Amino acid sequence: MTELTLVQAVNRGLRVALSSDPDVLILGEDVGVNGGVFRATEGLQKEFGPERVIDTPLSETGIIGTAIGMALYGLKPVAEIQFMDFIYPAFDQIVSELAKMRYRSGGQYPCHVVVRAPYGGGIRGGLYHSQSTEAYFAHTAGLKVVIPSNPADAKGLLLTAIHDEDPVIFLEPKRIYRSLTGEVADGDYRVPFGKANVVVEGTDVSLFAYGAMVPPTVEAAQALLSEGISAEVVDLRTLVPLDEKAILASVEKTGRAVVVHEAARFCGFGGELSAILAEKAFYSLKAPIARVTGYDTPFPYALENSYLPNPARIAHAARAAARTQ
């Protein structure tokens, strides 16, 4: 066990994978000599060489297109997109090719690429270094979507991703890359996909969150406790596959749900969660389902703290739900 930040845990995960499997390689912009703009790949090129930790030209189209070719050939490429905001030049390769390759070839061509990208706000990044567009990917059949919220999960989910058989969009909450640390087991271990984590148990209201929204949601739950409201916090961990069972179990217990994400609300992932609950937990619900999310504007710079959900907003919504009989 070592006390690590989230980005260090990612780095360790990559290192374990590179060490144990010669088919694993990393490619992206500035991932080699520079060690990644967030240092996620620090030291890896030195250790594993420029053939396995590849600095590419400035083209996300090229990064994902070539990663797909490598995967078809049998390697296990881990592609880094410098910021999630810059994934769009590769969107065609991701949604038209990567997501559909196994399906369209009748299962002949599995195509296992891990696409890592830091996502989310809170680092004064403005419109183009802050976005959370996980809903685009969650809506795309054929992609798995993973968002860890702490160092131990980051490493364990990343190792699961790298050894999975399907394409994985692995989104890293850059806001908490360094702002918190946690105990991380050494060596190889796996956190399974499709298993949510009940971070705080509670009985009055269920709060659903993932990635960088987990810490403020836990904080909100703690504040609520002092008011006598027992909130349960469920960290989804993987949006696809989704742990519907855990979600339904929580709401069957509490009867009230608040969905938290920093992405814009309209057509965001929260809509899907609400819809699942409104269909399958209908008879358990005692209050309207609330969403605490980013607003339906592009991501602002100076006022990013107003844009982002925080413990106060989350607690406010949870309180309203909990007080509804």
Partner 1 sequence: MAKAATSKTGSQGSADSFPEDRIVEIYRTEVLARVMDERCLTLQRQGRIGFYVPLAGQEAAQIGSGYALDPSDWIFPAYRELGLALVRGIRAKSLIDQFIGNSADLTKGRQMPNHYAFREQRFVSASSPIGTQITQAVGAAMAAKKRQDPIVTITFFGDGATSSNDFHAGLNFAGVFAAPTIFFCQNNGWAISLPREKQTLSPTLAGKADAYGLPGVVVDGNDVRAVYRAVREARARAIAGDGPTLIEAQVYRFGPHSTSDDPSRYRPEEAVRKAREHDPVLLLQSELIRNRILTKDSDSKIWEELKAEVARAIEAAENTPAVEPLSFFDDVFAQPTPTLEEQRASFDQLLREGVLRP
Of 24, 53, 114, 138, the one binding a second copy by CB under 8 A? 138
89 is an interface residue for a second copy by CB under 8 A: yes
| Residue 150 amino acid letter | N
254 is an interface residue for ligand TPP by CB under 6 A: no
Helix residue ranges, H only, the chain: 6-20, 44-48, 60-73, 91, 101-104, 134-138, 151-163, 214-225, 244-254, 269-280, 304-307, 311-323
The full length of the chain comes to 325
Total residues contacting a second copy (rule CB under 8 A)? 49
Token pair of 49 as six digits:
């060489």
97 is an interface residue for ligand TPP by CB under 6 A: no
109 is an interface residue for a second copy by CB under 8 A: no
What is the secondary structure of 87-133 as a DSSP string?
Answer: -GGGHIIIIIIITTHHHHTTTS-----EEEEEE-SSSS-GGGS----
Q: What are the Cα distances from residue 239, in Å, to 144, 193, 261?
A: 7, 9, 12
Comparing CA positions, the residue from 137, 222, 129, 170 lying closest to residue 6 is 170
How far apart are CB 275 and ligand TPP at their closest, in Å?
A: 32
277 is an interface residue for a second copy by CB under 8 A: yes
Which is closer to partner 1, CB of 89 or CB of 182? 89
Q: 149 is in the binding site of which of partner 1, a second copy, ligand TPP, none (Cβ under 5 to 8 A by kind)?
A: none
What is the signed CA dihedral for 102, 105, 109, 114, rounded to 10 degrees?
Answer: -30
The backbone torsions φ and ψ at residue 249, rounded to the nearest 5 degrees and listed phi first, read -60, -40
Asked if 227 and 257 count as a contact pair (C-beta separation under 8 A), the reply is no
291 is an interface residue for a second copy by CB under 8 A: yes
Q: 202 is in the binding site of which of ligand TPP, a second copy, partner 1, none (Cβ under 5 to 8 A by kind)?
A: none
Residue 21: burial class (beta carbons within 10 Å; 0-12, 13-18, 19+): middle
210 is an interface residue for a second copy by CB under 8 A: no
Residues 129, 139, 163, 316: which is the catalytic one? 129
Which is closer to partner 1, CB of 179 or CB of 203? 179
Q: How far is 166 from 107, CA to CA, in rounded Å?
A: 11
Judge whether 112 counts as a catalytic residue.
no
Q: 59 is in the binding site of which of partner 1, a second copy, ligand TPP, none (Cβ under 5 to 8 A by kind)?
A: partner 1
CB atoms within 10 A of CB 305: 11
Q: 177 is in the binding site of which of a second copy, ligand TPP, partner 1, none (Cβ under 5 to 8 A by kind)?
A: none
91 is an interface residue for ligand TPP by CB under 6 A: no
Of 21, 42, 69, 86, the one binding ligand TPP by CB under 6 A? 86
Query: Active-site residues: which are they?
Result: 129
Residues making contact with a second copy (CB under 8 A): 85, 88-89, 91-92, 95-96, 99-100, 103-104, 127-128, 133, 135-136, 138-142, 240, 263-264, 266-275, 277-280, 282-283, 285, 287-291, 296-298
Residues making contact with ligand TPP (CB under 6 A): 29, 58, 60, 82, 86, 89
